[in-house]
Structure 1
């Protein structure tokens, strides 16, 4: 069934990452070499040092145990140039040592690990000149939303000691916010300012944080909710902790947010409406770097733009057939899809959001059952569907957060439902992408793998967005091929509209950042305003989805052609999932090795 919905595939060589990796051909002869005990010892120690400089990441991945993890859970990374320099110094040492290891004999898993580590560290170093091009206070992950998200979603509250570390981190938030303010001012002095509409989104988030009274602030209510029932926390101690959190928020954190509010107001008159990164000093080079890093490609912006235009035309032609089946024959594809989605909107009363979340949960469960014949590997960790928290709901997109390694937190498919209208047509496809067999199968499974070093299982060094988002888009395509949409014309249109969405992203992202497109021009092309704002704040990342999927599809068809009747989808999926989050050129080498081994075995 694959050819029916096949995307036009590009030559594999076009997608080879430029920044920075060893060629697969150079690495391949060493893949059968004996394992190096020295590499295992060094990489384990280096990964630990790397995580000690990233306490928030250590918390999210629960990288350490015991006293060391407890100490990191009580820290927040300084938002300073000195801290950036410290991380860069470690990265330089790592790259030099990895080059030496890669020049010698390594086992297959070790070589993939070394290549992945080197890709991550080299990209960090290559991005040093562009660190301030991504704006300190953006709506996506600025400290004004990133720190509350860390505290309310990732910081563990399993025992009394976690409450102590929670309070210790609250005490540090004002300093981190002031450091971010200083960094934003320094960037502005170099004319590195966000567009006005991005700054205003950050302002809205700060305003929303300051609106509740201290006792109703999310940093207090989250602690109160999650500490209820802790076996080793006496009621009196819990009350004292909540009272202390309330004081910290009221006396220190809210004033720090007010200082952020003031600096954003100070910068506001200096901002303008131009959207693209190319308007900034060094912006063109920054976009080249970000596109290569995020999308794992050596393609330049013009080529990516052309792929997007081609795919938009192809997908719209496919969607036209299904829209006509439903009686929507007049108007553009966009106009007809808007009409369809409006016709599917639920009544406003009673609140439809609980039913929408329940429907997403049903779709995720159904996908788990349908996956049985296509996947040998499935994660043990459960997945839940939850509504995006209020602080980020208005600016958020559907997303996935991984489970805690100790089982204290499930994988979560977060869905923003701000209303009054909801994305009804794409529900099935979002469930496959964010949940099963998309990000949950990929990320939770990798975390559970015992045959990978911990730094790969926990995705400390990874292959970037092209691998993770490419996989999630690949399973959307897989669901179409396997008939999961049969009998659901609306769902099929939802799946195709998501493909169209990703193809339009190539056009819009490159248009904004290299062709002088305005924000309104991108919206008029068919992209929601919140999505356009996302691409402005995170250039190049939106291109990873479709380019990553094209790469995985081409690898699949390469294996199918080479192995003939010995090829099976479950076996191919095993190879990709077992590889984990690796750069796309590393994944290519792993698939090539699998093909060669299967040929030799036959």
Structure 2
């Protein structure tokens, strides 16, 4: 069943790749097919919201959920059956009968449902953690949001009281995964219990992350009401949250980690080859094989190394690439002395972009973002930075591993025009079904990596070392194509992967270790970045060649971002339409 399903979604992706451009060329008015399709996704979306299938899904302005997700086996089986029914209905719609807007929605939605079904078929709910994140650390996201009303606080207290039930269900699922060898590799779990002990070993409820909302409460709320809610919060943390974390810690230390699998490769998991291919389809939105991706990575790495050599000559460094990388990793001039210095450098790059943005983008998002440090309990195993709507997280842990020359590329990727810019633009588009706000890694990460390259064109890199920082980051993402497929399909060891990154990027040893563990425990995700960037770059080159002097970089960027997250074949077809329309901005009718 699983092999058959994985082949089916890979085949669906191939058909999408081949057929989407032709479908986009045919103009069809809204008709019965549109209504039929809208009825399917409207009903499913309403059902999906009722499921609250993952904690943190409400990271918007919709309030605080009074309960955590239902993730028990009966619920999972029900979801599988429901999405199978949805897919059957989708396959009954003729895509050629849909209007142009709904055709794009259909392509995005069908791929989304296929990914959900693949995750259910391979029972990914039995492995709700990796080296980068876990259900218990994701859950703390609610505690870091601003609460404004009494109702939100009361719902938050109810959510805290639901933690024991939720954790117990997760443990039951993890035991099922453990029994069939479906776990992250043991080596990637070492030390990851620090984010559990930050709660389980806290001296008082007030010392946990879950008390944060009670530290600063709305001034408009009466003092007596504030005290009442604080007391309820303390009780819930003390009687529900902390005991649940203690129980989880015992399970992780005594049962889960000791029995976790030793093998690294996704292909060593149950039905592993089909599973890894399903992750390739999900994260790249292509039907490329592991071998094809591995070879693309090797070819791209050779090109980037040639660019690196040009920079080494430019700075007149006497030595080869390994010697230059060692110089960059060890010379104090390249590293911040304090966390504040790193944060300020990040903020400076972001503001420098604001001075250039009008030359490259027509539509600017209304939502701004803050630059804040990664929380202490997550920082040791967290990536160097992460961005999204309203926030750019900068990791200030272990400053000797956070090179200043890499900060411009990192900031462009995570803040603007990367994630904290792209996501709000997508969310601000009107008349789009809510499922279109879902994040598709190949598009989102591809755009963010493209933003790093764009920085050179924009004059964001002030020194050759900063240019090299960008190239090192390009090599980092291209090397992922080699390393991810090497680990999961070609039998690479952890050390082999670490050595490859050490030889080909300027990443610190600490970053290399955390990154490789992330790739080991999260198969396929690392493939999305460079393949997505290549798709955008190739689409731009095609548009520039076809349009000549009519090509407007602002119109091109607006066209790409206005789409929101879509499978790469959909993006490529939209750029073909952009060319056919003479390079017009999608917002030209509003001017």
Tell me if TM exceeds 0.5.
yes
Counterpart in 1 of 2:233? Answer: 245
**How many residue pairs were aligned?**
562
Number of the residue aligned with 1:367? 353
Corresponding residue of 2:59: 60
Q: Within the alignment, does 1:390 sit opposite 2:390 as a pair?
A: no
Q: Which runs of 5+ in 2 are unaligned?
A: 1-9, 503-511, 586-591
Q: 1:20 to 1:352 in 2, by over 3 A?
A: same
1:547-558, aligned counterparts within 5 Å? 547-558=531-542
The residue that corresponds to 2:493 in the other structure is: 518
Kept in 2: contact 1:147–1:173 (CA 8 A):
no
Q: How does 1:274-353 map to 2 (within 5 A)?
A: 274-333=263-322, 335-344=323-332, 352-353=338-339
Mapped to 1, the partners of 2:333 and 2:294 lie a distance apart of 33
Residue 596 in structure 1 maps to residue 580 in structure 2: yes
- Identify the residue that residue 568 of structure 1 maps to in structure 2: 552
Distance 1:16 1:129 in 2: 16
Are 1:476 and 2:468 an aligned pair?
no
Q: Could you say what secondary structure the match of 2:372 adopts?
A: strand
2:223 matched to 1:235?
yes
Could you tell me how far apart the structure 2 residues matched to 1:133 and 1:504 are? Answer: 29
- Counterpart position of 2:167: 177
Q: 2: distance between equivalents of 1:225 and 1:29?
A: 56
Are 1:34 and 2:20 an aligned pair? Answer: no
Contact 1:344 / 1:424 at 8 angstroms: preserved in 2?
A: no
Which whole-Å CA distance do the structure 1 matches of 2:334 and 2:583 have between them?
A: 54
The alpha-carbon deviation at position 259 of structure 1 amounts to 1.7
Q: Provide the rounded CA distance (Å) in 2 between the counterparts of 1:57 and 1:92.
A: 25
User: Higher mean Cα deviation, 309-318 or 541-550?
Assistant: 309-318
Distance 1:208 1:114 in 2: 44
2:393 is matched with 414
> Residue 135 and residue 453 in structure 1: after superposition, are their counterparts in 2 closer, same or farther (change >3 A)?
closer
Q: Which residue of 2 aligns with 1:260?
A: 248
Q: CA deviation at 1:432?
A: 0.5
Question: Deviation of residue 41 (structure 1)?
Answer: 5.1
- 1:540 alignment partner, one of 517, 520, 524: 524
| Structure 2 match to 1:153 | 144
Q: Take 1:134 and 1:336, find their aligned partners in 2: how far apart are those partners?
A: 44
1:509 Cα deviation after fit: 0.6
The whole-number CA distance in structure 2 between the counterparts of 1:302 and 1:54 is: 37
Report the alpha carbon displacement of residue 492 of structure 1 after superposing the two structures with TM.
Answer: 0.3
User: Are residues 16 and 360 of structure 1, via their aligned partners in 2, closer, same or farther at CA, if it must alter by over 3 Å?
Assistant: farther
Counterparts of 1:294 and 1:204 in 2: how far apart (Å)?
Answer: 29
CA distance in 1, matches of 2:15, 2:279: 10
- Per the alignment, residue 212 of structure 2 pairs with 222
Contact 1:294 1:543 in 2 (8 A): yes
TM-score by length of 1: 0.87
- Structure 1 residues 171 and 600 mapped into 2: Cα distance closer, same or farther (>3 Å)? closer
Shift of 1:100: 3.6
Residue 452 of structure 1 corresponds to 432
The match for 2:419 is 439
The alignment status of 1:211 with 2:201, answered yes or no, reads yes
Q: Distance in 2 between matches of 1:338 and 1:441?
A: 34
When the two chains are superposed, the root-mean-square deviation of aligned CA atoms in Å is 2.7
Aligned to 1:43: 41
Distance 1:26 1:316, change over 3 A: closer
Q: Point out which structure has higher relative CO (alpha carbons under 8 A, 6+ apart).
A: 1
C-alpha deviation, 1:168, in angstroms: 0.9
- In 2 relative to 1, CA 541–134 (structure 1 residues): closer, same or farther, beyond 3 Å? farther
Q: What residue is the counterpart of 1:504 in the other structure?
A: 479
Q: For 2:583 and 2:554, how far apart are their aligned partners in 1?
A: 17
Q: Secondary structure at the match of 1:553?
A: helix
* Partner Cα distance (1:275, 1:587) in 2: 33
Report if aligned partners of 1:319, 1:496 keep a CA contact under 8 Å in 2. Answer: yes
Q: 1:58 to 1:288 in 2, by over 3 A?
A: closer
Alignment of 1:568-587 (within 5 A): 568-587=552-571
Q: Which residue among 125, 133, 141 is the counterpart of 1:141? A: 133
SS at 1:414 equivalent:
strand
Q: 2:94 & 2:465 partners in 1: Cα distance?
A: 50
1:47: how far off?
Answer: 1.9
Asked if 2 retains the 8 angstrom alpha-carbon contact of 1:474 and 1:552, the reply is yes
Larger mean Cα displacement after TM superposition, 98-107 or 439-448? 98-107
Q: Report what 1:407 is aligned to.
A: none
Residues 380-434 of structure 1 show CA distances to partners (whole Å, capped at 9, x for unaligned) of: 111111101112111111444543xxxxxxx101111111412322100011000
- Once residues 345 and 74 of structure 1 are traced to their aligned partners in structure 2, the CA distance between those partners, rounded to angstroms, is 50
Q: What is the alpha-carbon distance in structure 2 between the residues aligned to residue 532 and residue 261 of structure 1?
A: 24
Match of residue 66 from structure 1:
none
TM-score when scaled to structure 2?
A: 0.88
Matched residue SS, 2:365: coil
